Amino acid sequence: SRLFDLHCQIAECVGMDRPEMFGNSNLEPMQVRLWIDYERADGIRNNPLHQSQRLEQEEIDGSINILLNIPLTHEFEDYLVKNHKQIIVTSPTSLVNKVKKLIGE
């Protein structure tokens, strides 16, 4: 048994595993593609954001592109906004635009 399970903590805190805990019981999972910078890549690779996480591509500079199949909760959007310099949404376009609007781009 692990005393500290980072995946569970992140996934639960941003409502990906149990969106109903955050008042999001009717959200359907969506495919989300993220680019992760090289500084965060190992951490995200070793402690996935969600159980659905799939590595799509590893770049020469050490950054990675991942695919998630998750409900888009407000908490996850906040997580993306807080980490927007190291984690960039590449799809879906609606989420790309929403995050850009939230960070003021």
**Residue ranges of the alpha helices (H) in the chain?**
6-13, 38-46, 74-82, 93-103
pLDDT at 51: 87
On average, the pLDDT of the chain sits at: 81
pLDDT at 25: 52
9 has a pLDDT exceeding 50: no
Average pLDDT over residues 49-56: 91
Question: What's this model's pTM, rounded to 2 decimal places?
Answer: 0.76
Q: How far apart are CA 11 and CA 31, in angstroms?
A: 15
70 has a pLDDT exceeding 60: yes
Helix axes 6-13, 74-82, angle to 10 degrees: 110
pLDDT at 76: 86
Element (DSSP H or E) covering residue 88 = strand 87-91
pLDDT at 26: 58
Count CB atoms within 10 A of the CB of residue 70.
Answer: 22
Q: Work out whether strand 30-36 and strand 64-70 pair parallel, antiparallel, or are unpaired.
A: antiparallel
Q: How far apart are CA 12 and CA 8, in angstroms?
A: 6
Residues contacting 34, CB < 8 A, separation 6+: 65, 66, 68, 87, 88, 89, 90
